[in-house]
């Protein structure tokens, strides 16, 4: 799959793809029911290869956060199909996945986007956080 194929694959899911800059786009829901998903295409560790990096902002980490907060996210990583929760900075929790472009097909692309939409929602009720509204992911 190539970066140029993203808009068509996203459109099949009923979503919209907006170019941010060359090699970076955002997947958005015209109805505003899902978080913005940033997709970056960047060099892989393999010489001459490219990878797709999918990023969705989950929340700003609350100031009074205890270690259980982070332990719960680590446990949740075990239950998701694609991707993992990670820290973007000292204050931003994200959900991300990376896939090699060379072997990426539309089914895997779609499954990854679905995980980007669903996995962060699993924590909404437990922590009563306003997910998807604060901060912006950085590539």
pLDDT number for residue 19: 93
pLDDT number for residue 38: 93
Q: By CB neighbour count within 10 A (0-12 exposed, 13-18 middle, 19+ buried), where does 5 fall?
A: middle
Sign of dihedral through CA atoms 82, 59, 2, 100?
A: negative
Q: How far apart are the first and last CA of the chain?
A: 20
pTM: 0.80
Tens digits of pLDDT across the chain (139 residues): 888 999 999 999 989 999 999 999 999 888 777 788 999 999 888 788 899 999 988 778 878 878 888 888 788 777 777 788 888 787 888 888 999 998 889 999 999 888 888 776 666 655 655 444 434 443 3
Domains by residue range for the chain, with CATH: 3-127 (3.30.1460.10)
């Amino acid at each position: 799959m190539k970066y140029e194929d993203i808009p068509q694959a996203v459109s099949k899911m009923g979503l919209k793809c907006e170019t941010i800059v060359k090699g970076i786009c955002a997947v958005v829901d015209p109805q505003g029911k899902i978080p913005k998903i940033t997709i970056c295409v960047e060099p892989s560790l393999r010489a001459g290869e490219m990878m797709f990096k999918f990023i969705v902002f989950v929340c700003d980490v609350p100031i009074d956060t205890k270690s259980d907060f982070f332990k719960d996210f680590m446990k949740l990583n075990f239950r998701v199909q694609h991707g993992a929760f990670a820290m973007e900075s000292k204050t931003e929790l994200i959900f991300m996945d990376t896939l090699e472009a060379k072997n990426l097909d539309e089914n895997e692309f779609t499954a990854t986007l679905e995980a980007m939409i669903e996995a962060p929602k699993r924590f909404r009720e437990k922590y009563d956080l306003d997910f998807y509204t604060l901060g912006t992911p950085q590539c």
